[in-house]
Chain A
Amino acid sequence: MKARLKGFMFLGVILLLVIASGCGGNKGNTSSSTTTNQSTNQLVIGLDNDPPQLDPQKSSAAVDRQVFQSIYNTLVDIDVNGKIVPELATSWKITNGGKVYTFNLRKDVKFQDGTPFNAKAVKFNFDRELDPKSASPRLSEIGSISKVTVLSPYQVQVTLKQPFSPLLSILTDRAGMMLSPTAVKKEGANFSNHPVGTGPYKFVERVKQDHITVKAFKGYWGKKPKIQTIVYHPYADGNVRLTNLTSGNVDLVNTIDYKDIDRVKKNPNLKVDEKDAIGFQGIVLNVHQAPLNNVKIRQAINLAIDRESIAKVIFHNYVTPATSPLPVSSWAHDSSLKQTTADTAAAKKLVQESGLKNVHFTLKIPAGSAQNQQLGQMVQSMLKKVGINVKLEMVEFGTMIQQGTEHNFDAINLGWSGRMDPDGTIYSWFITKGGNNDMGYSNANVDKWLNQARTVSSKQERTQLYHKISQQLWKDAPYISIYYPNDYKAMKKSVQGFQHYPDTMIRPETISLK
């Protein structure tokens, strides 16, 4: 019994220590500048996850790209305003009604293993992505390419099956990243462990779940990077990531929890950089499952949710309330959809008109995320007011995604990181039988408009089509858009020259340490 008591005393002491350490979090950072990486030649970046893949053509996690940006270059890139600019391709021409893209390539580029970069390398990369045998997630993005031809050593032609206006935008992402053909042939499936590109930094080593190190590439064609070494550390837990930033172990983190933004802003050693979101967050409704197969109920949900309150209470107004899946920052956003507060009376009326009694459904939310649980509880309480009972069920994220794909749910809380082009943001979500269409939604008009918006090249025409789509989605309400998750990067004040790109990816070559 005595031993047991001792054990409890010990537990009690630990509990007190934990509480004390938590309370002291804000004060302990004045001495942080004296800790570990004072060297101005090393930048430590904290990521929200350990990148599963270092092969861009196999990657399906956004966090991979944070590392890719240092190792690889893309054919074309975006600038800080999201405009397409040259990178490995110096110029391009679109001919034959948008079906043929001819790229002129930079001539002074070498891969980090010495292999020269040229039209053959570009063709090699496209062929690898397009080969069904490589099962590349890129195939669904650039599947419209029918063939790639080498016109001259530094000129390459991409021919499409039909016009596809989002192509350039897609090539600023992983599909346009160029891998060294020599390294790919040599390493085969092991390429992910020995990645070689043309980027400003060369891969050095990786210890899974611990760090990835890259070093400045001496033969880089562009402006020489100022920082010599970059170390990426994964911290899945937001609190741990922030603690490492405040304690000085990390210079820059790729994202912070919304609840911590105010704290970081108040910290004299840190600063926050903000950029509008390109993705959306909300609730997927299974349109084949009662009572959500009733459009009136779905519309009622759309009207019952007070997005302003959610943004304020959970996200401290660091997100933007959403009425469509196309965010405010996108040129395709339809600002005529304004219902960001609840219209409880109208929602109640819709529930009555549906003729259904005892309306209830289960909302699945990812386990382990306090934010999502709060969101679920707020939605639950808002829908209760209009006569819809929601049961919440916490499900492990991977399982939830799988149940979504199998349509085994009533409703799930799920969003999308989004893409630079609106097509990449919504096509796979709302096209009939689309890869992300967990709702099982199908509307002939939406299908038609989505496909048209891919093929026409005039931005004005595309904008009109996307407005029509947004309005139809508001009426059909297969997906309840709740907020656009704006991007926040937190860093030490000593980090200079950081540029915030709309795709949220860190391009480290411009960064220096004071």
Chain B
Amino acid sequence: MGEPQLQSETVNRVQINPLRKKRNKSYSKLMKNKLAVCGGIFVVLLVVLAVFAPLLAPFDPTKQNYGQILKPPSATHWFGTDTLGRDLLSRIIFGAQVSLKAGLISVGIALTIGIPLGMISGYFRGFWDEFIIMRVTDAMLAFPSLVLALTLAAVLGPSLNHAMIAIGLVFTPYFIRLARGEVLAQREREYVSAARASGLRNFSIMMRHVFPNILGPLIVQATLNVASAIIAEASLSYLGLGTQPPTPSWGAMLAEGQGYISQAPWISIFPGLFIFLAVISINVFGDGIHDWLDPKLK
């Protein structure tokens, strides 16, 4: 088995190398994309907030203080307090945990199910591809994603875990589609024919040769979907189907503050602002990666 593999790898390298070189050269290009860098910095900040939340938050995010309700931003409470006298800054910091967790895990679910199915579908074609996987995918895509996520979350019961599963399942068809499309393009390439001619098994061709070549678009799609998943989690929590109180979630905080927009606008402004910043920075960061990985762009 050793020999054919070696051969195929050589073939493969011939295909990939020019791309790789370009990428290495253009690390500086990524850094030059200022927007993407800003996005990246905020993403890193979010990760730091989420990971070190217990150390960074000035107060316990669930500690109610009935003497301090609806206080505007001040030196003690930078972002003010909410309807139950909880410190909003601390809740925002802990909310980052929920948002990132929701974004990463749900996209993780979508990737784990979507990529293998999409690759199998695109690589083998035939009955399973045309009549089962693609039709199910089409059916799922026919629903507006939030409505589908709402239905799933309602059926599973309201909780953060269920919301993540629901969002993950809703995003899966996008990855199936993308992986399949990329594989369809790759499977006709010469390196695949060469690998096949050298006697490599299908599984090895898919894993060792096709997969690395379709990874770029998948990474970009995954990054962008993390942003959508954060919005989806916030929406579900806003509607009461996601994170359950008292765990702070930006979406739920937005809903709590809605009725107080004129008396205490800070309750909804800060979570709204953070959802906005998180989503826009992940998106520009994802776009940056896309430009960087795309060999067609200079």
List the interface of chain A (C-beta within 8 A of B): 1, 4-5, 8, 11-12, 15, 19, 22-23, 25-26, 238-239, 257, 259, 263, 309, 312-314, 367-368, 370, 373-374, 376-378, 380-381, 391-396
Contact = CB atoms under 8 A, between A and B. Distances in A.
B145 interface: no
A239 B259 contact: yes
Most buried by B among A1, A257, A380, A391: A1
A22, A309, A376, A391, most chain B CB atoms within 10 A: A22
A257 B259 contact: yes
A85 to B, nearest CB: 39
B243 to A, nearest CB: 10
B256 interface: yes
A377 B64 contact: yes
Given A25-B262, A263-B262, A370 B276 contact: no
Interface in B255-283: 255-256, 258-263, 265, 269, 272, 276, 280, 283
B66 to A, nearest CB: 5
Contact of A394 (B240, B269, B290): B240
Contacts of B280: 8
A8 B281 CA distance: 11
B263 A394 contact: no
Contact of A381 (B62, B256, B290): B62
23 contacts: A1-B287, A4-B283, A8-B283, A15-B272, A19-B269, A26-B262, A259-B263, A370-B83, A370-B255, A370-B259, A373-B240, A373-B245, A373-B256, A374-B84, A374-B256, A377-B84, A377-B245, A381-B62, A392-B246, A393-B158, A394-B241, A395-B158, A396-B240
Given A22-B265, A370-B255, A377-B245, 16 more contacts: A1-B290, A1-B291, A5-B35, A8-B280, A19-B265, A239-B261, A313-B69, A368-B239, A368-B240, A370-B83, A370-B259, A373-B240, A376-B245, A381-B62, A394-B158, A396-B154
Tell which of B62, B84, B272, B291 has the most Cβ of chain A within 10 Å.
B84
A512 B67 CA distance: 43
Nearest to A382: B64
A381 B245 contact: no
Contacts of B244: 391-394
Contact of B64 (A5, A15, A257, A378): A378
Contact of A313 (B84, B262, B265): B84
A367 B244 CA distance: 10
Contact of A367 (B241, B265, B290): B241
Interface residues of B, number: 36
Contacts of A395: 158
Mostly helix, strand, loop or mixed at chain A's interface?
helix
Looking at A239, A313, A381, the one whose CB has the most chain B CB atoms below 10 A away is A313
Closest 6 CB pairs of A and B: A367-B240, A22-B261, A394-B240, A25-B262, A1-B287, A377-B246
Interface in B55-99: 62, 64, 66, 69, 83-85
B66 A313 contact: yes
Contacts of A374: 83-84, 256
Contacts of B265: 19, 22-23
Nearest to B279: A8
A257 B259 CA distance: 9
Nearest to A308: B66
B166 to A, nearest CB: 15
A376 B262 CA distance: 24
A392 B160 CA distance: 12
Contacts of B241: 367, 394
A381 B64 CA distance: 8
Nearest to B269: A19
Contacts of B83: 313-314, 370, 374
A11 B269 contact: no
B98 to A, nearest CB: 15
Contacts of B69: 313
A378 B245 CA distance: 10
A1 B269 CA distance: 27
Given A15-B276, A368-B240, A380 B246 contact: yes
Contacts of B262: 22-23, 25-26, 263
A239 B258 contact: yes
A373 B280 CA distance: 30
Contacts of B245: 373, 376-377, 380, 392, 394
A23 B62 CA distance: 27
A309 B66 CA distance: 8
A238 B259 contact: yes
Contacts of A257: 259
